[in-house]
Structure 1
Amino acid sequence: MTVQIAVRLPDDLVEFLDHEIETGAASSRAAIVTRALARERRRRAAERDAAIYAALGDDEDLATFTRQAAAQPMDVD
């Protein structure tokens, strides 16, 4: 399900959105906003996970995993 909402954005951000659409980088303003919000949600979840891991202290198995994960390329979308 989707819900239509109205947001007010500064002119420069709207220009950015429209430029992304004009260049084919995105199909619509909504697609760009959706992608940005999904990315922000993932970033916050990662911060929560990092705080949990930091509170747990050192764990060699986890350290091995994080070294391996850090060596992998990331897809930002």
Structure 2
Amino acid sequence: MTTQIAVRLPDDLVQYIDREIAAGAAASRAAVVVRALERDRRRQDAEHDARIYAANPSDEFDDFHAWTSRRPMDID
């Protein structure tokens, strides 16, 4: 399910969105906004997980951390 909403954005952000579309990086303004919101949600989820791990130190994930730290991030 989707819900249409109306938002007001500063001109510079709209210009950025339109450049993304012109460059072929996105199909529509909505796609750029959805991508940004999903990325922000993943960032917040990762920060939440990091706080949990920091509060409960364990060496259980050392090998996983070593492996992932050598991989490029693909956040999209």
Band the TM-score falls in, shorter-chain normalisation: over 0.9
- What is the letter of the counterpart of residue 65 of structure 1? F
Match of 1:34 in 2: 34
Per-residue CA distance 1:33-59 (angstroms, 9 max, x = gap): 0000000000000000000000002x2
- CA shift, 1:19, in A, is 1.2
Match of 2:75 in 1: 76
- What is the letter of the counterpart of residue 47 of structure 2? E
- 1:1-77 equivalences under 5 Å are 1-57=1-57, 59-77=58-76
- CA shift, 1:76, in A, is 2.1
Q: Which runs of 4+ in 1 moved over 2 A?
A: none
- CA shift, 1:61, in A, is 2.1
Structure 1 unaligned regions, length at least 5: none
Calculate the TM-score normalised by the size of structure 2. 0.92
Per-residue CA distance 1:10-38 (angstroms, 9 max, x = gap): 00000111111112111000000000000
Structure 2 unaligned regions, length at least 5: none
Give the share of equivalent positions with the same residue, in percent: 58
